[in-house]
Amino acid sequence: MNLNNKQIIVLGAGSSGRAAAALAQREGASVSVHDSADCIEGLAAGVSSVTGSSTTTGEQSHCDILVLSPGIDGHGAFAQSYAQNAGEVIGELELASQFYTGKVIAITGTNGKTTTTEIIDAMLNAAGMSCLPCGNHGMPLSELVLMENPPQVAALEVSSFQLETIKNFRPDVAVWLNFSADHMDRYPTLDAYKAAKLRVFENMTADQTIVTRAGEDLRGAHHADINLLSFSTESEADFILAGQQISAAGEAVIDLSPTRIRGLHNAENVMAAYAACSLLGVSAEVANKALASFSPPAHRCELIAEVDGVEYINDSKATNLHALDSALRSQSRPIVLIAGGKEKGLEYADLLERLSTTTKAVVVFGEIADKLMDTLGSIKDQVNCQKASDLEEATTLARGLASAGDVVLFSPGTSSFDMYAGYEARGDHFRQIIHQF
């Protein structure tokens, strides 16, 4: 991609937009960043800016290339007002990928992306290959490309938002973890959301490999000659789980027992990560050493402590039902579940069968608490269901309901914005409560 003397508008002044602007300028373009905010800070020297941008601003603007930040809906009126006078429309991911010469492992899925990305980063660095997490987690890919010595491998977490605007982006390995409903405030249908995520495969050829959870429907999303590696904790696959041992071709390769990794879904994240890394030459021995010192990212089935024989797990990142279901099926101990938060139209009734077979008690709180209590009515004879006014009371109740050998699982299944600034603040509060025990 030749940007010399091109006129480029970057729409959105977040970290991705600022990095894209700096990269485009380095490559010889004349760059302006537009944002609806009243103030734009942190731009590279020489990059101009337009604050208070609107559809009117867009209609009056012209450029050779419009670069959309991931948070900007490309189908919305704001982006479209700029696109109508742009020679080409791409996203930050597409721009950066054209100037990165290392290997790319792209990780996508509704849940588990960040954990898998971090494991890949740990394994590759343990093997002596420089790697950094980037994309939707970590630094923007453009920022990585701007480094004086970019790493040999990019562990690139990619969201549907980023994939909407690719054209030639092609990873060396694409990891597809899972798929379920999410971001329905951005997409008109579930199929539209899935179609955006499936774009990760569209430019791949027989020289690349797809790592996918067994049973995922990827029909029509890739060429028939692309190599596939599968993983699963539930069915036959190239990588399978027996107890705490991950095996491939009948040979045990990864031992999870000495690690801090908990849950079947996290075992699948490890499988996906190791499958991807093995394609770049990482041995099982090195992978095991990396996992021995690996701490899962906060708020994702994070083991906080064991108190009086009860494990307390912080899964505040579970902001949808697929994540909650994964956390429930991943536990080997009897569960006392803490769930609830913002009401966003999710149907917890879909989880009643799972709850009835995995939990001994459920404590609900938050805006959705009353609705949840009504939903749980059909299993109250089997599961002790209680309501709390806030997270502190919920945790105290859960502690009283748990016995040695149980797990108190904080996996809300919905967002936190009824009480907290985000899932991180919610999870941090849970951690503080546990540390007071």
Give the model confidence (pLDDT) of 350-370 as tens digits: 999 999 999 999 999 999 999
- Is the separation of the CB atoms in 11 and 66 below 8 Å? yes
Tell me the pTM. Answer: 0.83
Dihedral sign (CA 324, 328, 331, 337): positive
Average pLDDT over residues 429-433: 98
Backbone angles phi, psi at 292, to 5 degrees: -60, -30
| Residue 221 clears pLDDT 90, i.e. is over it | no
- Residue 258's CB: how many other CB atoms inside 10 A? 10
285-289, 294-298, 353-357, range with the lowest pLDDT: 294-298
| Residue 84 clears pLDDT 90, i.e. is over it | yes
Mention the CATH class of domain 7-91.
Answer: alpha beta
Mention the CATH class of domain 302-435.
Answer: alpha beta
pLDDT at 110 (0 to 100) = 83
Average pLDDT over residues 57-85: 96
Same fold, 7-91 and 100-292: no
pLDDT at 211 (0 to 100) = 97
pLDDT at 322 (0 to 100) = 83
| Residue 182 clears pLDDT 70, i.e. is over it | no
Take residue 91 and report the two structure tokens written for it: 């996203």
pLDDT at 313 (0 to 100) = 94
DSSP assignment of 220-287 equals: TSS-TTSEEEEEESSS--SEEEETTEEEETTEEEEE-TTSS--SHHHHHHHHHHHHHHHTTT--HHHH
Distance from the Cα of residue 114 to its chain's centroid: 5
pLDDT at 186 (0 to 100) = 75
pLDDT at 188 (0 to 100) = 82
Average pLDDT over residues 263-275: 92
- Angle at which helices 391-401 and 423-435 pack, to 10 degrees? 50
Residue for token pair 């002596």:
128
pLDDT at 181 (0 to 100) = 63
Dihedral sign (CA 106, 112, 115, 120): negative
Residue 148's pLDDT band (boundaries 50, 70, 90)?
very high
Percentage of the chain modeled with pLDDT above 90? 84
- In DSSP terms, which residues pair with 211 in a beta bridge? 175, 229
pLDDT at 239 (0 to 100) = 98
- Return the half-sphere exposure (C-beta side, CA atoms, 13 A cut-off) of residue 78: 14
**Torsion (CA) 402, 266, 116, 138 in degrees, nearest 10:** 0
pLDDT at 184 (0 to 100) = 61
Average pLDDT over residues 180-207: 84
| Residue 180 clears pLDDT 80, i.e. is over it | no
* Per-residue pLDDT tens over the stretch 302-331: 889 999 999 999 999 999 888 899 899 888
CATH architecture of the domain 100-292 equals 3-Layer(aba) Sandwich (3.40)
Mean pLDDT of the chain: 94
* Per-residue pLDDT tens over the stretch 399-421: 999 999 999 999 999 999 999 99
| Residue 251 clears pLDDT 70, i.e. is over it | yes
pLDDT at 90 (0 to 100) = 98
Question: Alpha-carbon distance 154 to 100, whole Å?
Answer: 9
Take residue 166 and report the two structure tokens written for it: 């690719």
| Residue 223 clears pLDDT 80, i.e. is over it | no
Q: Is 146 helix (H, G, I), strand (E, B) or coil?
A: coil
Domain extents in the chain: 7-91, 100-292, 302-435
pLDDT at 434 (0 to 100) = 97
| Residue 230 clears pLDDT 70, i.e. is over it | yes
- Is the separation of the CB atoms in 105 and 154 below 8 Å? yes
Give residues with Cβ within 8 angstroms of 376, minimum separation 6: 348, 352, 355, 362, 364, 383, 385
